[in-house]
Amino acid sequence: MDIVVASGKGGVGKSTFTGSLISLLQEYGIAAVDADAEAPNLHIVFDVKEWEQEKEFTAAKTAIINDSCIQCGLCDNVCIYEAIYVEEGKHKIKQYLCEGCGACKAVCPVDAIEIRDTISGWIRIASTRYGPLVSAELDVGKPNSGKLVTEEKNIAKEWVKQGKAKHIIVDAAAGIGCQVIASFSGANRAILIAEPTPSSLSDLQRVYWLTQHFRIEPFLVINKYGINPGYDGIERFARENGVEILGRIPYDSSVPKSLAAMKPLVEYAPDSPASREIKKIAEIVAGWL
């Protein structure tokens, strides 16, 4: 099974839930994928202090101005990213803004601009007591987050082929952008996390339609249940769209304490209200494996 945990919105407790779920299902051979390349944090939940492997991921391009530049300024005129500036009478490129589109090279009359490969980010691997973990981090201002996540998933799939794991659980990024689309690629089921607020409902609707586009069966977990008494928007949406609610996790003050302790919630506070509900959800998910 390839299961994606997604939310469409940040701050709803997705990584906290995913960490506890993997902890409870570790006997089933889970490969964990932290697919939030812009803000990875699953390694914090698993108390990863150092990485066994770390490699650069090169998928982006960047422009370089060499010494043959005649300072005509044509490149500056065509750069829509405003990556070119003048310092001490010379044209230079802000690497964190450059998208490597090549427009500057196309207009340069003396061929003084080169387009080179550049590092997009890093892929990191660790063995945890819950199973293997692959994480990634996108470099500041770099594109190709979707390609980075795809490479992560390929690593996890290779672990399954090699017998190092049997199933994959992906902790997706917030939103519905490239990273999330890459997370959904090849998935069997999606667990959507929402909190009982209108804002979360809006983002839940977007990520739900993404699951429909990819024909992935969605399930719903309502986190921080009870923080907005009387609001039934999330549950009404689930009923109207035939989405099964796996569980309702109550707001629990043990959650931030477990993060500070760098432990999955179900280990830090196994008898807390939230942990008890996550255990019930894990029993359902175990039936999928």
Residue ranges with strand state E in 158-206:
167-172, 189-194
The verdict on 164 and 93 lying in the same domain is no
The verdict on 28 and 138 lying in the same domain is yes
Domain span at 89: 67-111
Residue 107: C-alpha distances to residues 85, 116, 189 (Å):
16, 17, 48
The verdict on 49 and 179 lying in the same domain is yes
CATH number for the domain spanning 106: value is: 3.30.70.20
Each residue's pLDDT expressed in tens, for the chain with a length of 289 residues? 999 999 988 888 899 999 999 999 999 999 999 999 888 899 999 999 899 999 988 877 899 999 999 999 999 999 999 999 999 999 999 988 888 899 999 999 999 999 998 888 899 999 999 999 999 988 877 766 788 899 999 999 999 999 999 999 999 998 888 889 999 999 999 999 999 999 999 999 999 999 999 999 999 999 999 888 889 999 999 999 999 999 999 999 998 999 899 999 999 999 999 999 999 999 999 999 9
Q: Does some domain include residue 62?
A: no
Angstrom distance (rounded) from CA 27 to CA 286: 10
The verdict on 262 and 141 lying in the same domain is yes
CATH number for the domain spanning 233: value is: 3.40.50.300
Domains held by the chain: number: 2
Q: Does some domain include residue 245?
A: yes
